[in-house]
Structure formats: C-alpha cells, structure tokens
C-alpha cells in the first residue's frame, strides 16, 4: 500500500502543504495551553483534542514526536489588549485565594479533562512561572533593537520586523481596533512584553527585571517556552483560531526579532514551519462563555450522563478547520455512534478470544498504543486493504477524521475476514483516533445522570418483573412498571436497535 504524504494546512501561507520535518524522522510540536484561572469549557478542549489527533497522526506516520503544551499561570490579561487585568490576579482576588492555589486547582481540573478525553500526555508541560529568568534573558536580547520603555512597561515595536501581522492578514496601522490605546505607543499593534507593577501596588506574582518589578507578557511566554524546549525553528505551532489574530502574530514578531531573521516568505523565520489553528466550537445560547454562570464544562456533560468520549467523537466527526455547533442532540448522536463501535469491538474481542482459546489462532495481536503505519504496512490485509488505504489517505489529508471514522466503520463491518487481522486493524486505527474502543464497555456508555438515584440492580429487577407481566399478558401491570420507572427517570426502550433496553434521562 502507499504511504500517503502527510499534508497540513499552514495558516501562515493559507495553503495545504506537504509536511517535511525540520529534523528528519522527528516532529516537534508546541500547543498553546490553557490559562489556569478557571475551568476549561468544552470549546477549549476541542483545541487539545485537535492537537492530540495531530500528534497521534505524526506518530502514525512513524515520526518521533516531541509535543509540548504550556500552562499559563501568569501574564494573560482579560482582554488580549495591554489594558485590563491579569486573569489570574483577578480570579485570586475574587476567590480570596493565592494565585498559586488557583493555578494548582484549575491545572488539575484541566488535566482531569485531558485524561477523560483520552488526550495523550505530551512530552512536557511547560509552566510559565518556571521560565521567568529565560523570559527576561529573551527580552534583554531583543530590547535594544525592537523595544521601547513606557511608564507601564517594555513594549515591542511591531514596525521593526518584516511582515508583521501576516498570519492574521491584518493591516498593522489599523490594528483592527483590537488593542486598546496605551499612551505613548508607537504603533497601535505594539504590545507589552514586560508589564511593570504600577507604583504603590503589589501583585502576588512579580519579579525583578531591568525594566522594573513586574510580570512578563503572555506572548513572550510562549515564544520563550517553545524556543527553549523545541529550538527554533520547530515544526508545528498550534492553537485555537482566535490566536491567529493577535497572540500568534505577536509570538512570531518576537521570534523574528530573537532569531535575527527577516521576512516571512520563508515560514521558518516565524519560529515554526507550520502554524495550525482549530476552528471554534459554538453554542447558540451563549453557554460557552465562562462569564455565563453555568458554562459548558466537560463535567457538565458527564453529570448529565454522557461519557466524555462521546464529546471526542463529536469533535472527530467534524473537520478541525470547520466551525462545530454544539447541541445535546449532536452529542447524543455521537454517543450512539461510539456505542455502535464499542459493541462491534466487543463482539470482535469475544470472537477473537474464542479463536485464541480454541488455538485456531496461535497468537492474539498485541493491542499496543504505539501503532504506526510502518508496522501495519507490510502485512497482507486482503479484503481489509482498501479500508487501510482509505484511512491513511484521509488522516494524511489535513487530518480528515470524519472520513477516517468511516474507514474504521468499514473495518468493523467487514464480513468473512480474518478476525485477528480485523482486530489488529481496528486497534491501529483507534490508536490514531483515540476513542479507546478496546478499553470501553457497553456499560460505560449508558446514559446515567448524576442526579439519578435508582441503581442498575433496581432497574434490572423492575424490568424482569415487567417481562414476567408481559409474558402473562398482564399489560396493565407491565405499563404500571414502565410508569414507575419513568417517574424515576428511567426510559424503557422496547425494540431499540442497539439493544439498550433502558436509559436514564
Ligand atoms: P485559553 O485558556 O482561553 O487561552 O484557551 C485555550 C485554547 O482554547 C486556545 O487554544 C483557544 O484558542 C481555544 N479556544 C477558545 N475558545 C474556543 C472555542 N469556543 N472553540 C475551540 N477552541 C477554543
Ligand atoms: Zn501561546
């Protein structure tokens, strides 16, 4: 079979490009991580599901992956402009806690979502406050040629680098009205790389620097952590599409200044060869906004009874560059699709186990996490070969997970094929998609809201009584049991094609 060259959409060139690693055989990826001042919403988590699929795809293609995700615990302002409050300081004041406690709590909450969504651990989580000395050194290196000092801090002069704002396709001077005026700025788009603590104030997090006591700017953090750990230029920098407008153009300007490189006709001068951005998850009623009270956290989905991997499935069904609209119906449909796959895999595992115990098959395939195309490529897949070909072509086509899922459907639906091969191929595809199909059971996927008090044993007992009543043609009793269950939130599903008999709603 062919190994389809991996093509990725580069936001910097606005083109799909063949991926050619900076260091042969390797892929180095930096993902802008969360600011840990609050819980992530499920839109934020879409950004990490996307980065995870990218990482898994690079592994599938046999590249040695070094993935870094940062944790921002200082410097991110409330409005991406240079006026406004530090998100961390603001939350700490609101909750009357230290910033360190706030950061720890929300970092753990974010990591819980990462685990629940089966996002692989990156090689390194870089925490911004661990890199402040390096940030000061970086700023010192570019200060003379590219920065100027104002009362409020050290500012980057965007006119000192070529092609500023190309990533956003923005006009420098217009500044799109997005950066609030700070008196004395040379250009509207100039941004703070070091913010001085105003006289008479103290902040919970501040450090000494050549420009006074204060804190680093958010853009500086990512330039320093990515360059420090991965080395400039590295392969791929990812983030949500909002970062294409301000955060990443500013990172790029700093990287150009630091690396003493010029224009962006050669994307490597930006610090990374490829910049990739996931589109937004949107929700009509505004429940995505963290200021809306009860916002859409992964935990809310879990509390309503949905397995978190149903949300991962929902993300995979759309292309990462398309906007995705969240709805409970959509989540339900994604859950049903996941259930069908898990049921197919359960059957497959059972048949495979039978064969192994009957010694018809000498060996069970090792269902390892680290499948690569190279490992499965040489085998004779017989009737399954077109599905493998389709899968590889889809995932290599700028991560077309929607089509890749249908290739997995093809494998699971294949009849009269070697069971060991079918099992192995399904596992290999799932190692890229990350749905944990071989770890989940049907029971894990039952809808069970947190508020439900009735136990599964009680439901099963009631259903057994109902079965008896129906066998005795006592339909009044059967209906009464059904109504009793309904009163406790249990919906009896007669004739459900998936064989689920009941669900808690
Ligand atoms: P933040 O913690 O605000 O820096 O955001 C974390 C990540 O989530 C960033 O990569 C954002 O670009 C991304 N993001 C924010 N909102 C959404 C959304 N509604 N859908 C998808 N990604 C988002
Ligand atoms: Zn960043």
Which one, of 54, 19, 168, 33, lies nearest residue 401 by Cα?
A: 54
Q: From the CB of 47, is ligand 1 less than 6 Å away?
A: yes
Q: Write down the pLDDT at residue 158.
A: 96
Token duo for residue 311 = 């949300």
With respect to residue 195, please indicate whether it lies within any of the assigned structural domains.
yes
Q: From the CB of 280, is ligand 1 less than 6 Å away?
A: yes
pLDDT digits (tens, 9 = 90+) for 165-215: 999 986 544 444 455 568 899 999 999 999 999 998 888 899 999 999 999
Please give the Cα distance from 45 to 150 (Å, whole number): 37
Residues 401 and 471 in one domain: no
Residues 226 and 334 in one domain: no
Contact between residue 240 and residue 280 where contact means Cβ atoms under 8 Å apart: yes
- Which residue matches tokens 């956290």? 297
Percent of the chain with pLDDT over 70: 93
With respect to residue 2, please indicate whether it lies within any of the assigned structural domains.
no
275: left (phi over 0), alpha (psi -120 to 50) or beta: beta
Residues 180 and 212 in one domain: yes
pLDDT digits (tens, 9 = 90+) for 243-292: 999 999 999 999 999 999 889 999 999 999 999 999 999 998 877 777 76
Q: From the CB of 434, is ligand 1 less than 6 Å away?
A: no
Contact between residue 505 and residue 467 where contact means Cβ atoms under 8 Å apart: no
pLDDT digits (tens, 9 = 90+) for 300-356: 999 998 999 999 999 999 999 999 999 999 999 999 999 999 999 999 989 888 877
Mutational test site, ligand 1, from 31, 44, 245, 321, max ligand atoms within 8 Å of CB: 44
Q: Which atom of ligand 1 is nearest to the CA of 33?
A: 6
- CATH code, domain with 216: 3.40.50.620
Residues 154 and 232 in one domain: yes
- CATH code, domain with 426: 1.10.730
Q: Write down the pLDDT at residue 229.
A: 98
Helix 308-317 vs helix 328-357: crossing angle, to nearest 10: 100
Quote the mean pLDDT of the chain: 90
Write out the residue range of the structural domain in which residue 106 sits.
25-283
Annotate 117-129 with DSSP letters as a single string: TTPPPPSEEEEGG
Residues 200 and 338 in one domain: no
With respect to residue 488, please indicate whether it lies within any of the assigned structural domains.
yes
Q: Give the distance (Å) from ligand 1 centre to CA of residue 240.
A: 5
Mutational test site, ligand 1, from 30, 41, 47, max ligand atoms within 8 Å of CB: 47
With respect to residue 55, please indicate whether it lies within any of the assigned structural domains.
yes
Confidence of residue 359 (pLDDT cuts 50, 70, 90): low
Q: Write down the pLDDT at residue 315.
A: 98
Residues 29 and 140 in one domain: yes
pLDDT digits (tens, 9 = 90+) for 397-422: 999 999 999 999 999 999 999 998 99
Q: Write down the pLDDT at residue 489.
A: 82
pLDDT digits (tens, 9 = 90+) for 479-492: 888 888 887 888 88
Contact between residue 258 and residue 227 where contact means Cβ atoms under 8 Å apart: yes
**Among 398, 418, 442, residue at a domain's last position:** 442
Please give the Cα distance from 205 to 200 (Å, whole number): 15
**Structural domain count, the chain:** 3
- Compute CA distances 421 → 367, 380, 383, 384, whole Å: 11, 9, 10, 8
Q: Give the distance (Å) from ligand 2 centre to CA of residue 133.
A: 18
Q: Give the distance (Å) from ligand 2 centre to CA of residue 278.
A: 14
Please give the Cα distance from 399 to 185 (Å, whole number): 41
In this structure, how many other beta carbons lie within 10 angstroms of the beta carbon of residue 448? 20
């Amino acid at each position: 079979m062919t190994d389809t060259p991996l093509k990725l959409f580069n936001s910097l060139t606005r083109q799909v490009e063949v991926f050619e690693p900076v260091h042969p055989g390797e892929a180095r990826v930096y993902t802008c991580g969360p600011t840990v001042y609050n819980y992530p919403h499920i839109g934020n988590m879409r950004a990490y599901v996307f980065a995870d699929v990218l990482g898994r795809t690079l592994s599938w293609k046999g590249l040695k992956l070094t993935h870094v995700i940062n944790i921002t615990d200082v410097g991110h302002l409330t409005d991406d402009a240079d006026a406004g409050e530090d998100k961390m300081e603001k939350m700490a004041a609101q909750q009357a806690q230290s910033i360190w406690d706030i950061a720890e709590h929300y970092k753990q909450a974010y990591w819980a979502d990462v685990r629940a969504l089966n996002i692989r651990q990156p090689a390194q989580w870089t925490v911004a406050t661990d890199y402040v000395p390096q940030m000061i050194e970086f700023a010192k290196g570019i200060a003379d040629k590219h920065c100027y000092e104002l009362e409020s801090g050290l500012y980057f002069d965007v006119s000192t680098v070529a092609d500023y704002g190309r990533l956003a396709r923005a006009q420098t001077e217009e500044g799109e009205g997005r950066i609030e005026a700070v008196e004395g700025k040379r250009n509207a788009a100039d941004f703070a790389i070091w913010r001085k603590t105003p006289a008479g104030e103290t902040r919970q997090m501040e450090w000494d620097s050549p420009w006074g006591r204060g804190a680093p700017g958010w853009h500086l953090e990512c330039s320093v952590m990515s360059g420090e750990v991965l080395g400039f230029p590295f392969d791929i920098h990812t983030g949500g599409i909002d970062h294409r407008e301000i955060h990443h153009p500013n990172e790029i300007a700093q990287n150009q200044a630091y690396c003493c490189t010029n224009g962006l006709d050669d994307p490597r001068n930006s610090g990374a060869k490829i910049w990739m951005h996931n589109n937004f998850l949107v929700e009509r009623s505004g429940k995505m906004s963290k200021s809306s009270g009860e916002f859409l956290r992964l935990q809310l989905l879990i509390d309503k009874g949905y397995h978190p991997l149903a949300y991962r499935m929902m993300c995979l069904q759309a292309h990462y560059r398309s906007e995705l609209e969240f709805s409970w119906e959509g989540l339900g449909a994604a859950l049903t699709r996941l259930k069908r796959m898990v049921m197919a895999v359960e059957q497959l595992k059972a048949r495979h186990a039978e064969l192994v115990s009957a010694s018809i098959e000498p060996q069970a395939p090792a269902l390892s996490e680290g499948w690569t195309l190279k490992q499965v490529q040489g085998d004779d897949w017989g009737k399954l070969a077109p599905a493998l070909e389709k899968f590889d072509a889809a995932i290599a086509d700028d991560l077309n997970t929607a089509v890749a899922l249908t290739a997995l459907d093809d494998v699971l639906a294949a009849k009269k094929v070697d069971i060991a091969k079918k099992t192995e191929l399904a596992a290999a595809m799932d190692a890229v998609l990350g749905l944990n199909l071989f770890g989940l059971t049907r029971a894990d996927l039952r809808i069970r809201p947190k508020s439900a008090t009735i136990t599964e044993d009680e439901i099963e007992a009631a259903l057994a009584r109902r079965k008896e009543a129906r066998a005795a043609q006592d339909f009044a009793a059967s209906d009464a049991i059904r109504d009793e269950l309904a009163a406790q939130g249990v919906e009896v599903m007669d004739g459900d094609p998936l064989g689920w008999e009941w669900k808690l709603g």
